[in-house]
A and B are shown apart, each in its own frame.
Chain A
Protein backbone atom coordinates (compact mmCIF):
# COMPACT_ATOMS: atom_id res chain seq x y z
CA UNK A 1 0.00 0.00 0.00
CA UNK A 2 0.94 3.63 -0.37
CA UNK A 3 -0.78 6.36 1.65
CA UNK A 4 -0.15 10.10 1.50
CA UNK A 5 -1.50 13.05 3.46
CA UNK A 6 -0.56 16.39 1.93
CA UNK A 7 -1.27 20.01 2.78
CA UNK A 8 -1.67 22.42 -0.10
CA UNK A 9 -0.48 26.03 0.01
CA UNK A 10 -3.93 27.18 1.20
CA UNK A 11 -3.86 24.79 4.18
CA UNK A 12 -6.29 22.23 2.71
CA UNK A 13 -5.59 18.63 3.65
CA UNK A 14 -5.65 15.95 0.93
CA UNK A 15 -5.41 12.22 1.54
CA UNK A 16 -4.77 9.53 -1.06
CA UNK A 17 -4.03 5.85 -0.98
CA UNK A 18 -3.36 2.83 -3.15
CA UNK A 19 -4.55 -0.37 -1.56
CA UNK A 20 -2.25 -3.24 -2.50
CA UNK A 21 -3.22 -6.73 -1.36
CA UNK A 22 -2.72 -10.33 -2.40
CA UNK A 23 1.06 -10.86 -2.38
CA UNK A 24 1.95 -14.53 -2.83
CA UNK A 25 -1.74 -15.50 -2.91
CA UNK A 26 -1.61 -17.26 -6.26
CA UNK A 27 -0.10 -15.96 -9.51
CA UNK A 28 -2.14 -16.18 -12.71
CA UNK A 29 0.49 -17.06 -15.35
CA UNK A 30 -1.82 -16.39 -18.27
CA UNK A 31 -2.93 -12.91 -17.23
CA UNK A 32 0.27 -12.07 -15.32
CA UNK A 33 -1.65 -10.98 -12.25
CA UNK A 34 -2.22 -11.96 -8.62
CA UNK A 35 -5.30 -14.14 -8.32
CA UNK A 36 -6.46 -12.68 -4.99
CA UNK A 37 -5.98 -9.05 -6.08
CA UNK A 38 -8.08 -9.69 -9.17
CA UNK A 39 -10.81 -11.45 -7.16
CA UNK A 40 -10.96 -8.54 -4.73
CA UNK A 41 -11.42 -5.85 -7.38
CA UNK A 42 -15.11 -6.60 -8.12
CA UNK A 43 -15.76 -6.51 -4.37
CA UNK A 44 -14.65 -2.89 -3.95
CA UNK A 45 -17.53 -0.69 -2.82
CA UNK A 46 -17.95 2.84 -1.49
CA UNK A 47 -20.02 2.91 1.67
CA UNK A 48 -21.98 5.72 3.25
CA UNK A 49 -22.56 4.83 6.92
CA UNK A 50 -25.65 6.67 8.14
CA UNK A 51 -27.34 7.14 11.47
CA UNK A 52 -30.64 9.01 11.79
CA UNK A 53 -30.40 9.47 8.03
CA UNK A 54 -27.20 11.51 8.36
CA UNK A 55 -23.75 10.48 7.17
CA UNK A 56 -21.48 9.46 10.05
CA UNK A 57 -18.54 8.38 7.87
CA UNK A 58 -17.73 7.12 4.39
CA UNK A 59 -15.45 4.32 3.40
CA UNK A 60 -13.96 2.40 0.50
CA UNK A 61 -14.23 -1.23 1.41
CA UNK A 62 -14.57 -4.81 0.24
CA UNK A 63 -18.10 -6.24 0.25
CA UNK A 64 -18.29 -8.76 3.09
CA UNK A 65 -15.53 -7.12 5.14
CA UNK A 66 -16.94 -5.31 8.17
CA UNK A 67 -13.73 -3.59 9.31
CA UNK A 68 -12.30 -0.48 7.65
CA UNK A 69 -9.06 0.13 5.78
CA UNK A 70 -9.91 3.49 4.19
CA UNK A 71 -12.40 6.08 5.38
CA UNK A 72 -13.33 9.66 6.03
CA UNK A 73 -15.33 11.36 8.75
CA UNK A 74 -16.45 14.45 6.84
CA UNK A 75 -15.06 17.75 8.17
CA UNK A 76 -13.11 15.97 10.94
CA UNK A 77 -10.50 13.49 9.68
CA UNK A 78 -9.53 10.90 7.08
CA UNK A 79 -7.90 7.59 7.87
CA UNK A 80 -6.08 4.84 6.01
CA UNK A 81 -4.07 1.92 7.29
CA UNK A 82 -1.09 0.20 5.72
CA UNK A 83 0.13 -3.26 6.54
CA UNK A 84 3.20 -3.48 8.81
CA UNK A 85 4.99 -6.80 8.58
CA UNK A 86 6.62 -8.15 11.70
CA UNK A 87 7.68 -11.45 13.21
CA UNK A 88 5.65 -10.36 16.21
CA UNK A 89 2.68 -10.36 13.85
CA UNK A 90 -1.04 -10.85 14.00
CA UNK A 91 -0.82 -14.63 14.26
CA UNK A 92 0.57 -14.20 17.80
CA UNK A 93 -2.29 -11.85 18.59
CA UNK A 94 -4.77 -14.42 17.26
CA UNK A 95 -3.15 -17.14 19.35
CA UNK A 96 -3.39 -14.96 22.45
CA UNK A 97 -7.03 -14.24 21.63
CA UNK A 98 -7.79 -17.96 21.31
CA UNK A 99 -6.03 -18.61 24.63
CA UNK A 100 -8.30 -16.08 26.31
CA UNK A 101 -6.10 -12.96 26.46
CA UNK A 102 -8.54 -10.56 24.79
CA UNK A 103 -7.40 -7.10 25.82
CA UNK A 104 -6.17 -6.25 22.30
CA UNK A 105 -8.31 -5.01 19.43
CA UNK A 106 -8.58 -6.34 15.88
CA UNK A 107 -6.98 -3.76 13.61
CA UNK A 108 -9.83 -3.18 11.17
CA UNK A 109 -12.38 -3.12 13.98
CA UNK A 110 -10.39 -0.34 15.66
CA UNK A 111 -10.31 1.76 12.49
CA UNK A 112 -14.04 1.31 12.03
CA UNK A 113 -14.66 2.18 15.66
CA UNK A 114 -12.51 5.33 15.30
CA UNK A 115 -14.33 6.39 12.13
CA UNK A 116 -17.67 5.80 13.84
CA UNK A 117 -16.97 7.34 17.23
CA UNK A 118 -13.96 9.69 17.28
CA UNK A 119 -15.01 13.29 17.70
CA UNK A 120 -11.89 15.06 16.42
CA UNK A 121 -8.51 14.57 14.72
CA UNK A 122 -6.80 14.60 18.12
CA UNK A 123 -9.24 12.08 19.54
CA UNK A 124 -8.73 9.76 16.55
CA UNK A 125 -4.92 10.09 16.82
CA UNK A 126 -5.01 9.24 20.49
CA UNK A 127 -7.24 6.17 20.01
CA UNK A 128 -5.09 4.87 17.14
CA UNK A 129 -1.86 5.41 19.06
CA UNK A 130 -2.93 4.04 22.42
CA UNK A 131 -5.29 1.11 21.85
CA UNK A 132 -3.63 -2.29 22.21
CA UNK A 133 -3.79 -4.23 18.94
CA UNK A 134 -3.59 -7.84 17.81
CA UNK A 135 -1.30 -6.95 14.89
CA UNK A 136 1.21 -4.21 14.05
CA UNK A 137 0.07 -1.52 11.59
CA UNK A 138 0.68 1.92 10.14
CA UNK A 139 -2.18 4.39 10.57
CA UNK A 140 -2.18 7.41 8.30
CA UNK A 141 -4.43 10.14 9.62
CA UNK A 142 -5.35 13.46 8.05
CA UNK A 143 -7.31 16.30 9.61
CA UNK A 144 -9.07 19.48 8.59
CA UNK A 145 -6.62 22.16 9.72
CA UNK A 146 -3.10 23.10 8.77
CA UNK A 147 -0.56 20.68 10.26
CA UNK A 148 -3.09 17.94 10.92
CA UNK A 149 -1.58 14.90 9.27
CA UNK A 150 0.47 12.06 10.69
CA UNK A 151 1.77 8.53 10.38
CA UNK A 152 1.38 6.41 13.50
CA UNK A 153 3.73 3.42 13.52
CA UNK A 154 2.26 0.75 15.74
CA UNK A 155 3.52 -2.47 17.27
CA UNK A 156 0.90 -4.69 18.85
CA UNK A 157 1.40 -3.03 22.23
CA UNK A 158 2.88 0.41 21.61
CA UNK A 159 2.94 3.47 19.42
CA UNK A 160 6.55 3.33 18.16
CA UNK A 161 6.62 6.65 16.35
CA UNK A 162 4.47 9.60 15.32
CA UNK A 163 5.54 11.54 12.22
CA UNK A 164 3.51 14.71 11.78
CA UNK A 165 3.18 17.32 9.07
CA UNK A 166 5.29 20.38 9.72
CA UNK A 167 5.07 22.92 6.93
CA UNK A 168 7.51 25.27 8.68
CA UNK A 169 10.14 22.53 8.46
CA UNK A 170 9.20 21.90 4.82
CA UNK A 171 7.32 18.70 5.59
CA UNK A 172 4.13 19.49 3.68
CA UNK A 173 3.28 15.82 3.17
CA UNK A 174 3.74 12.53 4.99
CA UNK A 175 3.98 9.35 2.95
CA UNK A 176 3.92 5.73 4.08
CA UNK A 177 4.34 2.48 2.18
CA UNK A 178 4.98 -0.67 4.24
CA UNK A 179 8.27 0.14 5.98
CA UNK A 180 9.21 2.14 9.07
CA UNK A 181 9.91 5.66 7.81
CA UNK A 182 13.19 5.93 9.77
CA UNK A 183 14.61 2.90 7.95
CA UNK A 184 15.31 2.22 4.29
CA UNK A 185 12.67 0.17 2.48
CA UNK A 186 13.52 -3.33 1.29
CA UNK A 187 15.57 -2.77 -1.89
CA UNK A 188 13.26 -4.96 -4.01
CA UNK A 189 10.19 -3.06 -2.82
CA UNK A 190 11.05 0.61 -2.86
CA UNK A 191 7.85 2.46 -3.68
CA UNK A 192 8.72 5.22 -1.22
CA UNK A 193 11.50 6.80 -3.30
CA UNK A 194 9.51 7.11 -6.56
CA UNK A 195 6.42 8.32 -4.66
CA UNK A 196 8.44 10.98 -2.79
CA UNK A 197 10.24 11.99 -5.99
CA UNK A 198 6.89 12.61 -7.66
CA UNK A 199 5.49 14.46 -4.62
CA UNK A 200 8.59 16.68 -4.53
CA UNK A 201 8.33 17.32 -8.27
CA UNK A 202 4.65 18.20 -7.88
CA UNK A 203 5.41 20.78 -5.14
CA UNK A 204 3.07 22.09 -2.47
CA UNK A 205 1.77 24.84 -4.76
CA UNK A 206 0.48 22.32 -7.27
CA UNK A 207 -0.77 19.52 -5.05
CA UNK A 208 -4.45 18.70 -5.58
CA UNK A 209 -6.70 15.66 -5.86
CA UNK A 210 -5.73 15.57 -9.54
CA UNK A 211 -1.95 15.60 -9.01
CA UNK A 212 -2.21 13.20 -6.06
CA UNK A 213 -3.89 10.74 -8.43
CA UNK A 214 -0.96 11.26 -10.83
CA UNK A 215 1.52 10.31 -8.09
CA UNK A 216 -0.51 7.20 -7.19
CA UNK A 217 -0.64 6.27 -10.88
CA UNK A 218 3.14 6.16 -11.35
CA UNK A 219 4.80 2.75 -11.41
CA UNK A 220 5.88 1.13 -9.10
CA UNK A 221 3.61 3.08 -6.71
CA UNK A 222 0.96 1.56 -8.94
CA UNK A 223 1.74 -2.14 -9.24
CA UNK A 224 0.17 -5.56 -9.81
CA UNK A 225 -1.15 -5.67 -6.25
CA UNK A 226 -2.96 -2.33 -6.48
CA UNK A 227 -6.65 -2.98 -6.13
CA UNK A 228 -8.02 0.53 -5.78
CA UNK A 229 -7.01 4.17 -5.42
CA UNK A 230 -8.95 6.40 -3.05
CA UNK A 231 -8.76 10.19 -2.84
CA UNK A 232 -10.23 12.12 0.08
CA UNK A 233 -10.64 15.74 1.08
CA UNK A 234 -11.84 16.26 4.65
CA UNK A 235 -12.92 19.89 4.24
CA UNK A 236 -15.67 19.01 1.77
CA UNK A 237 -16.19 15.43 2.96
CA UNK A 238 -15.41 14.07 -0.49
CA UNK A 239 -14.28 10.47 -1.05
CA UNK A 240 -13.75 9.05 -4.53
CA UNK A 241 -12.23 5.76 -5.52
CA UNK A 242 -11.20 3.95 -8.67
CA UNK A 243 -10.43 0.32 -9.43
CA UNK A 244 -6.97 0.07 -10.94
CA UNK A 245 -5.03 -2.05 -13.40
CA UNK A 246 -1.30 -2.09 -13.98
CA UNK A 247 -0.52 -2.98 -17.58
CA UNK A 248 2.76 -4.72 -18.36
CA UNK A 249 5.57 -4.05 -17.78
CA UNK A 250 4.66 -3.66 -14.14
CA UNK A 251 6.18 -4.74 -10.83
CA UNK A 252 4.40 -7.67 -9.14
CA UNK A 253 4.52 -5.67 -5.84
Chain B
Protein backbone atom coordinates (compact mmCIF):
# COMPACT_ATOMS: atom_id res chain seq x y z
CA UNK B 1 0.00 0.00 0.00
CA UNK B 2 2.88 2.43 0.67
CA UNK B 3 3.60 2.65 -3.03
CA UNK B 4 0.45 4.73 -3.50
CA UNK B 5 1.52 7.33 -0.93
CA UNK B 6 4.35 9.79 -1.71
CA UNK B 7 7.26 9.07 -2.06
CA UNK B 8 5.69 5.95 -3.60
CA UNK B 9 8.34 3.70 -2.06
CA UNK B 10 7.96 0.25 -3.53
CA UNK B 11 8.93 -3.16 -2.34
CA UNK B 12 12.36 -3.81 -3.80
CA UNK B 13 11.92 -4.76 -7.43
CA UNK B 14 13.10 -8.11 -8.74
CA UNK B 15 13.39 -9.71 -12.18
CA UNK B 16 13.51 -6.36 -13.96
CA UNK B 17 16.54 -7.46 -16.02
CA UNK B 18 16.79 -7.78 -18.95
CA UNK B 19 15.07 -4.39 -19.12
CA UNK B 20 11.45 -4.51 -20.19
CA UNK B 21 8.03 -3.19 -19.25
CA UNK B 22 6.82 0.33 -18.48
CA UNK B 23 10.02 1.54 -16.75
CA UNK B 24 12.11 0.75 -19.82
CA UNK B 25 11.84 3.09 -22.80
CA UNK B 26 14.67 1.97 -25.07
CA UNK B 27 18.23 0.85 -25.46
CA UNK B 28 20.96 3.37 -26.28
CA UNK B 29 22.82 3.62 -29.60
CA UNK B 30 26.61 3.35 -29.81
CA UNK B 31 28.86 5.86 -31.57
CA UNK B 32 32.61 6.04 -31.95
CA UNK B 33 34.52 9.21 -31.13
CA UNK B 34 37.89 9.13 -32.88
CA UNK B 35 40.39 10.98 -30.68
CA UNK B 36 42.86 11.01 -33.58
CA UNK B 37 40.59 13.41 -35.49
CA UNK B 38 40.89 17.18 -34.98
CA UNK B 39 38.58 18.18 -32.08
CA UNK B 40 36.12 20.10 -34.26
CA UNK B 41 35.43 16.99 -36.38
CA UNK B 42 35.05 14.40 -33.60
CA UNK B 43 31.33 14.77 -32.95
CA UNK B 44 30.10 15.14 -36.55
CA UNK B 45 28.52 11.67 -36.89
CA UNK B 46 26.75 11.94 -33.51
CA UNK B 47 25.39 15.41 -34.27
CA UNK B 48 24.32 14.37 -37.75
CA UNK B 49 22.02 11.74 -36.19
CA UNK B 50 20.91 13.79 -33.19
CA UNK B 51 20.59 17.26 -34.72
CA UNK B 52 16.81 17.45 -34.42
CA UNK B 53 16.77 16.14 -30.83
CA UNK B 54 19.51 18.60 -29.86
CA UNK B 55 17.56 21.43 -31.47
CA UNK B 56 14.40 20.39 -29.58
CA UNK B 57 16.26 20.38 -26.27
CA UNK B 58 17.83 23.78 -26.90
CA UNK B 59 14.39 25.14 -27.87
CA UNK B 60 13.09 23.93 -24.48
CA UNK B 61 15.91 25.90 -22.81
CA UNK B 62 14.97 28.97 -24.87
CA UNK B 63 11.30 28.57 -23.86
CA UNK B 64 12.29 28.25 -20.22
CA UNK B 65 14.47 31.37 -20.43
CA UNK B 66 11.57 33.24 -22.07
CA UNK B 67 9.29 32.21 -19.24
CA UNK B 68 11.62 34.00 -16.84
CA UNK B 69 12.52 36.95 -19.09
CA UNK B 70 9.74 37.36 -21.69
CA UNK B 71 11.65 40.01 -23.65
CA UNK B 72 14.11 37.33 -24.82
CA UNK B 73 17.03 39.33 -23.42
CA UNK B 74 18.36 36.37 -21.43
CA UNK B 75 18.92 34.27 -24.54
CA UNK B 76 20.37 37.33 -26.32
CA UNK B 77 22.84 37.61 -23.45
CA UNK B 78 23.71 33.91 -23.78
CA UNK B 79 24.23 34.26 -27.54
CA UNK B 80 26.47 37.32 -27.15
CA UNK B 81 28.45 36.65 -23.98
CA UNK B 82 29.00 32.88 -23.86
CA UNK B 83 30.93 32.67 -27.17
CA UNK B 84 33.36 35.16 -25.59
CA UNK B 85 33.70 32.91 -22.56
CA UNK B 86 34.11 29.83 -24.77
CA UNK B 87 37.39 31.25 -26.00
CA UNK B 88 38.74 30.99 -22.45
CA UNK B 89 37.88 27.26 -22.11
CA UNK B 90 40.69 24.73 -22.49
CA UNK B 91 41.16 22.61 -25.57
CA UNK B 92 40.11 20.11 -26.86
CA UNK B 93 36.78 21.08 -25.24
CA UNK B 94 36.68 24.55 -26.84
CA UNK B 95 37.17 23.27 -30.38
CA UNK B 96 34.84 20.31 -29.86
CA UNK B 97 32.07 22.70 -28.73
CA UNK B 98 32.72 24.92 -31.76
CA UNK B 99 32.50 21.86 -34.01
CA UNK B 100 29.18 20.81 -32.45
CA UNK B 101 27.73 24.30 -32.94
CA UNK B 102 28.91 24.30 -36.55
CA UNK B 103 27.56 20.79 -37.28
CA UNK B 104 24.20 21.45 -35.62
CA UNK B 105 23.64 25.03 -36.79
CA UNK B 106 22.71 25.96 -33.21
CA UNK B 107 24.13 29.28 -31.92
CA UNK B 108 27.51 28.83 -30.27
CA UNK B 109 26.42 30.51 -27.02
CA UNK B 110 23.52 28.08 -26.57
CA UNK B 111 25.74 25.01 -27.13
CA UNK B 112 28.23 26.49 -24.67
CA UNK B 113 25.44 26.95 -22.11
CA UNK B 114 24.47 23.28 -22.48
CA UNK B 115 28.08 22.31 -21.82
CA UNK B 116 28.30 24.31 -18.60
CA UNK B 117 24.85 23.29 -17.33
CA UNK B 118 26.36 21.54 -14.31
CA UNK B 119 28.18 24.59 -12.98
CA UNK B 120 25.10 26.78 -13.63
CA UNK B 121 22.67 24.50 -11.78
CA UNK B 122 24.54 23.51 -8.60
CA UNK B 123 22.84 26.09 -6.43
Contact = CB atoms under 8 A, between A and B. Distances in A.
A67 B118 contact: yes
Contact of A194 (B9, B28, B122): B9
B44 to A, nearest CB: 11
Nearest to A201: B12
B43 to A, nearest CB: 7
Interface residues of B, number: 64
A197 B7 CA distance: 15
B35 A218 contact: no
Contacts of A215: 12-13
A118 interface: no
A249 B8 contact: yes
Nearest to B119: A90
Given A66-B96, A90-B119, A46 B16 contact: no
B70 interface: no
Contact of A25 (B19, B64, B122): B64
A87 B122 CA distance: 8
B71 interface: no
A10 interface: no
A251 B28 contact: no
Interface in B82-96: 85, 88-90, 93, 96
A201 B34 CA distance: 42
Contact of B25 (A202, A245, A250): A245
A119 to B, nearest CB: 16
A217 B43 CA distance: 31
Nearest to A81: B118
A242 B46 contact: no
A134 interface: yes
A22 B54 CA distance: 15
Contacts of A136: 122
Interface in A148-206: 188, 190, 194, 197-198, 201-202
Contacts of A90: 118-123
Interface in B32-64: 32-36, 43, 46-47, 49-50, 53-54, 56-57, 60-61, 63-64
A134 B30 contact: no
Contacts of B64: 25-26, 35-36
A64 B111 contact: yes
A138 B61 CA distance: 25
Interface string A199-240: 001100000011101110111101000001100000000000
B47 to A, nearest CB: 7
Interface of A: 25-26, 35-36, 39-52, 56, 60, 63-67, 83-87, 89-91, 93-94, 97-98, 102, 106-109, 112, 116, 134-137, 188, 190, 194, 197-198, 201-202, 209-211, 213-215, 217-220, 222, 228-229, 241-247, 249-251
Interface of B: 3-4, 6-17, 19, 22-36, 43, 46-47, 49-50, 53-54, 56-57, 60-61, 63-64, 67, 85, 88-90, 93, 96-97, 100, 104, 111, 114-123
20 contacts: A43-B53, A43-B57, A47-B31, A47-B32, A48-B31, A50-B36, A51-B36, A63-B53, A64-B111, A64-B115, A65-B117, A87-B123, A102-B88, A107-B118, A219-B9, A242-B25, A244-B24, A245-B23, A249-B8, A250-B8
